[in-house]
Structure 1
Amino acid sequence: MTGVLASLQRLLPSRSDYAELPRSWRADLLAGLTVGIVALPLALGFGIASGAGAEAGLVTAIVAGLVAAVFGGSHVQVSGPTGAMVVILAPVVSVYGVGAVALVTLMAGVMVVVAGFARLGRAVSYIPWPVIEGFTLGIAVIIFLQQVPALTGAAGSGPHTNVVASALSSVTHADPATLAWSLATVGLVAACMLLLPRLRPRLPGSLVGIVVATLAALVLHAPLATIGALPSTLPAPALPALDPETMRALLPAALTVAALAAIESLLSARVAASLADTGAYDPDRELLGQGLASLAAGLFGGMPATGAIARTAVNVRSGARTRASAAAHAVVLLAVVLVVAGPVAHIPLAALSGVLMVTAVRMVHLATARSILRSTRADAAAFLVTAVVTVSVDLIVAVGIGVIVAGAFALRGLARATGVAREPVPGEPEAGDEQIAVVRIDGPLFFAAADRVLDEVTGLDGVTVLVLRMSQLELVDATGAHVLSEIVQRLETRGVTVLIKGVRDGHVELFRTVGVLDALRHQNHLFDNLDAAVAHARDHVRRAEHPSAADIKAA
């Protein structure tokens, strides 16, 4: 019971979370203000792109951002709506309506909380780097293509249509006037985001671009759709209708959201820990915090939240030291809702599309992609397969397939590391040594290499005694141990005496359980010393060639 309470206490907030606050509060507040300004257009854009609306994006950034800051496992993580969630939620909204978003958010939040209590935070370390980068590339392509129908003024081919087909369909049915105004707006925002930081690094290019585009649209009376009216206060918390039939239908989406929230949040926290010395992060507590953040966002009508790598990086680079900065970012966004909701309503949707398109392009790191493609065929294949499946099929399926591809190549490489080498009989040559084979098995002996080892060892001809050296055998699974047992049985059936030398202590129990030791003709055929094993083998050859009366009688 004491251990359970200690584990639970480790997952909850403590005074140590704010140990540096007396020294860093000014830097934390400034970082929170900076991140809040950067997060505003992203929250609005992701909310609209998901179909849940700008209000849902803002509510998520405020509520989830504050809850994750308090309960999360990273001192500098900033949470809110992200582009990956947009990819999942857009089809949900198109099929089940906006009301389904809150329910999916709550269901996913519960799953992530359970994952935190189950201490599954370290699971993300099993995802290879090329798979993560391929996944990121695929998400970036989807986010970019999702903006095309909004810019063209034409709908895609339907809610279940692939984003590539939907983008192509909308281009073929584009309204030329709307497209011209939209492209001009996107170009203006993109120019501000790309050029302004070079001239004034401290100015938020995305926010300036949106302000300039909004003013230009108002002055020129541009026929562009706008965000529309936003509430001047946060909505009251409410539990969505918990219809069992709807929940069953939404379960696959909720599972995908939960898996994605966990993966993205843990990756972001890991990146944040490498950017600055702000303390280690707790992956299990991070899952708990992100799950609670999504639960809170769902109660307020928001969307699922995750740790956001881009906003977290801005937070760290702005000098954040404690989780007070992420909390301050949420307060800044709340002030926007309370004070400037009216002006925000006039922002053109095309301006937000521009922000998202530039954000998607920035997610793609060409240098990283080149380094992966030039590294090994296995890594390049995992990277490309993950990216293609992400765009064409499904996000979580893509991660699964990417891990399988990477794992298959890794197993093949590991299997190749398993060596079977015949060595000369040690010591001064003696008559009959040609009938003795000393075989060393190196590396791991597991299911992927087992058949090859079986064929190579049992394929030896012209020997009457085989000495199997096991001291260099690193890893053995049940299949490998079974193959060793089969080797002994096959050779003994052919009249070849098998001696085993150097079984590691960690392998003894497995060998005994699977039957390797029982397969030996005699328990004296198990040795710790090679010289002793070779001496026994030579004695066996001599007795076979010149049997004594006792040997003949025993036979």
Structure 2
Amino acid sequence: MTERSTPTTSPDATENILGRAARSAAALLPRWGEWTPAARSPGADLLAGLIVALVALPLALGFGISSGLGAAAGLTTAVIAGAVAAVFGGSRFQVSGPTGAMTVVLVPIVAQYGPTGVLAVGLIAGLVLVVLSFAGVGRAVRYMPAPVIEGFTAGIAVVIALQQVPAALGIADTEGEKVWQSAADAVHQFVQGPSLLTPATALAVAAVILLGGRYLPRVPFSLIAVAAATLIAQLFDLDIARIGTIPAGFAAPSLDFLHPRELTSLLAPALAVAALAALESLLSATAADSMAVGARHNPDRELFGQGLANIAAPLFGGVPATGAIARTAVNVR
């Protein structure tokens, strides 16, 4: 009998594989030359950062509460994920943080796995995004049909609106597993015992944001409306539900939320979160390119940055993040 030889990898082949991996990793890392214009004239960037922060503050609070992890989680995500994605991402103008679309995906995950499950899902999703960036998947998004994106965005908007109905009507406890069921139950309870203060406040704040943004888009009306409504509620001691105390600073980084027995069951929701983060971030970066003449993002680097951001945010108690088109548009302006 002839003894079969076991195939082995030659040192040259191993060196070539390692060399390609190193070059791929280097291509995804930021370069100092990209920061040179901002370092020479930081004024415009600092002003844009201040305005975007004013816009992002109430959004971070709202999306953190809507996700089920609280206002502090939203703020943590806006700061940690926003900074990491900005440094390692592939878009000059992209602003990342908690978004409404991601909130829609996170609500059922919170209901099934609890807050620690959401943190684990975010970490796994971040790892998936990093793998996708090395695989070059980011460039494939350009082939997606526009009507698919429009339908996806419209559907997300409807779900977000239904999620806010109970809070806007001042109804704390609702029945129903689906968002439309909870919204319908909230309307039913409100009709039985109407209280106009809470819905009037919600409508007034929404009107100020929409009308102000239409006629004076450079003014952060979202922050102005929230601050004014809060001040009035405090001065007149209005009977409106409060967010509550938000912890100062960030929690110490920790992996206590990881439970090896649950990782298998969390894989499917993590893939859904990763897919949404990739899709929303790349679409937002593409929209920013169309608004800024001459700008062009690197899709694979953007996935890499979003992956690192979603790895970092859960360590501090933050929810999964994506590129945010509203905040990105403000940054471009």
**What TM-score comes out, normalization by structure 2 length?**
0.90
Residue 244 (structure 1) shift: 2.8
2:300 pairs, out of 271, 280, 284, with 284
* Equivalent position of 2:151 in the other structure: 134
Residue 200 (structure 1) shift: 4.3
The answer (yes or no) to whether the contact 1:269–1:307 under 8 Å persists in 2 is yes
Are positions 1:36 and 2:85 aligned together?
no
1:147 pairs, out of 164, 167, 175, with 164
- In terms of mean alpha carbon deviation, does 209-218 or 134-143 score higher? 209-218
Q: How far apart, in 2, do the equivalents of 1:69 and 1:178 lie? A: 45
Q: How far apart, in 2, do the equivalents of 1:62 and 1:176 lie? A: 42
Residue 241 (structure 1) shift: 3.4
Residues 177 and 42 (structure 1 numbering): CA distance in 2 closer, same or farther, change over 3 Å?
farther
Alignment identity in percent?
55
Residues 113 and 298 (structure 1 numbering): CA distance in 2 closer, same or farther, change over 3 Å?
same
Q: How far apart, in 2, do the equivalents of 1:179 and 1:117 lie? A: 54
The answer (yes or no) to whether the contact 2:116–2:258 under 8 Å persists in 1 is no
Secondary structure of the corresponding residue to residue 196 of structure 2? helix
Residue 130 (structure 1) shift: 0.3
Residues 156 and 66 (structure 1 numbering): CA distance in 2 closer, same or farther, change over 3 Å?
same
Q: How far apart, in 1, do the equivalents of 2:83 and 2:192 lie? A: 43
Are positions 1:101 and 2:112 aligned together?
no
Residues 168 and 62 (structure 1 numbering): CA distance in 2 closer, same or farther, change over 3 Å?
same
Residue 232 (structure 1) shift: 1.3
2:68 pairs, out of 33, 39, 51, with 51
Calculate the aligned-residue CA RMSD, in Å.
1.7
Residue 119 (structure 1) shift: 1.1
Aligned residue type for 2:103: V
Residues 95 and 5 (structure 1 numbering): CA distance in 2 closer, same or farther, change over 3 Å?
closer
* Equivalent position of 2:4 in the other structure: none
Residue 21 (structure 1) shift: 1.6
Q: How far apart, in 1, do the equivalents of 2:290 and 2:213 lie? A: 24
The answer (yes or no) to whether the contact 1:154–1:171 under 8 Å persists in 2 is no
Residue 24 (structure 1) shift: 3.6
Residues 77 and 166 (structure 1 numbering): CA distance in 2 closer, same or farther, change over 3 Å?
same
Aligned residue type for 1:210: V
Aligned residue type for 2:328: T
Aligned residue type for 1:66: A
Secondary structure of the corresponding residue to residue 303 of structure 2? helix
Residues 273 and 45 (structure 1 numbering): CA distance in 2 closer, same or farther, change over 3 Å?
same
Aligned residue type for 1:105: G
Residues 180 and 304 (structure 1 numbering): CA distance in 2 closer, same or farther, change over 3 Å?
same
Q: How far apart, in 1, do the equivalents of 2:241 and 2:193 lie? A: 13
Q: How far apart, in 1, do the equivalents of 2:214 and 2:270 lie? A: 41
Are positions 1:239 and 2:255 aligned together?
yes
2:33 pairs, out of 7, 16, 28, with 16
Aligned residue type for 2:276: L
Secondary structure of the corresponding residue to residue 139 of structure 2? helix
Q: How far apart, in 1, do the equivalents of 2:150 and 2:195 lie? A: 32
* Equivalent position of 1:422 in the other structure: none
The answer (yes or no) to whether the contact 2:78–2:96 under 8 Å persists in 1 is yes
* Equivalent position of 1:215 in the other structure: 231
Residue 176 (structure 1) shift: 6.3
Residue 156 (structure 1) shift: 3.1
* Equivalent position of 1:493 in the other structure: none
The answer (yes or no) to whether the contact 1:75–1:278 under 8 Å persists in 2 is no
Q: How far apart, in 2, do the equivalents of 1:129 and 1:60 lie? A: 29
Residues 197 and 151 (structure 1 numbering): CA distance in 2 closer, same or farther, change over 3 Å?
closer
The answer (yes or no) to whether the contact 1:11–1:284 under 8 Å persists in 2 is yes
The answer (yes or no) to whether the contact 2:119–2:257 under 8 Å persists in 1 is no
Highest Rg: 1 or 2? 1
Q: How far apart, in 1, do the equivalents of 2:192 and 2:211 lie? A: 28
* Equivalent position of 1:73 in the other structure: 90
Secondary structure of the corresponding residue to residue 293 of structure 1? helix
Secondary structure of the corresponding residue to residue 142 of structure 1? helix
Secondary structure of the corresponding residue to residue 42 of structure 2? helix
Residues 83 and 179 (structure 1 numbering): CA distance in 2 closer, same or farther, change over 3 Å?
farther
Residues 128 and 200 (structure 1 numbering): CA distance in 2 closer, same or farther, change over 3 Å?
closer
Are positions 1:156 and 2:174 aligned together?
yes
1:56-455 equivalences under 5 Å are 56-152=73-169, 153-158=171-176, 161-174=177-190, 179-197=195-213, 200-277=216-293, 279-317=295-333
Residue 151 (structure 1) shift: 2.5
Residues 172 and 205 (structure 1 numbering): CA distance in 2 closer, same or farther, change over 3 Å?
same
1:499-536 Cα distance to aligned partner (Å, 9 max, x none): xxxxxxxxxxxxxxxxxxxxxxxxxxxxxxxxxxxxxx
Secondary structure of the corresponding residue to residue 190 of structure 2? coil
Q: How far apart, in 2, do the equivalents of 1:24 and 1:274 lie? A: 24
Residues 150 and 73 (structure 1 numbering): CA distance in 2 closer, same or farther, change over 3 Å?
same
Aligned residue type for 1:258: A
Q: How far apart, in 1, do the equivalents of 2:269 and 2:195 lie? A: 33
Secondary structure of the corresponding residue to residue 20 of structure 1? helix
Q: How far apart, in 2, do the equivalents of 1:197 and 1:134 lie? A: 25
Greater RCO structure (CA 8 Å; 6+ sep): 2
Which runs of no fewer than 5 residues in structure 2 stay unpaired? 1-15
Q: How far apart, in 1, do the equivalents of 2:83 and 2:160 lie? A: 26
The answer (yes or no) to whether the contact 2:174–2:185 under 8 Å persists in 1 is yes
Residue 274 (structure 1) shift: 1.3
**What TM-score comes out, normalization by structure 1 length?**
0.55
Secondary structure of the corresponding residue to residue 251 of structure 2? coil
Residue 12 (structure 1) shift: 0.5
1:83-139 Cα distance to aligned partner (Å, 9 max, x none): 111101111112222222211110111111111111111121232100000000001
Residue 82 (structure 1) shift: 0.5
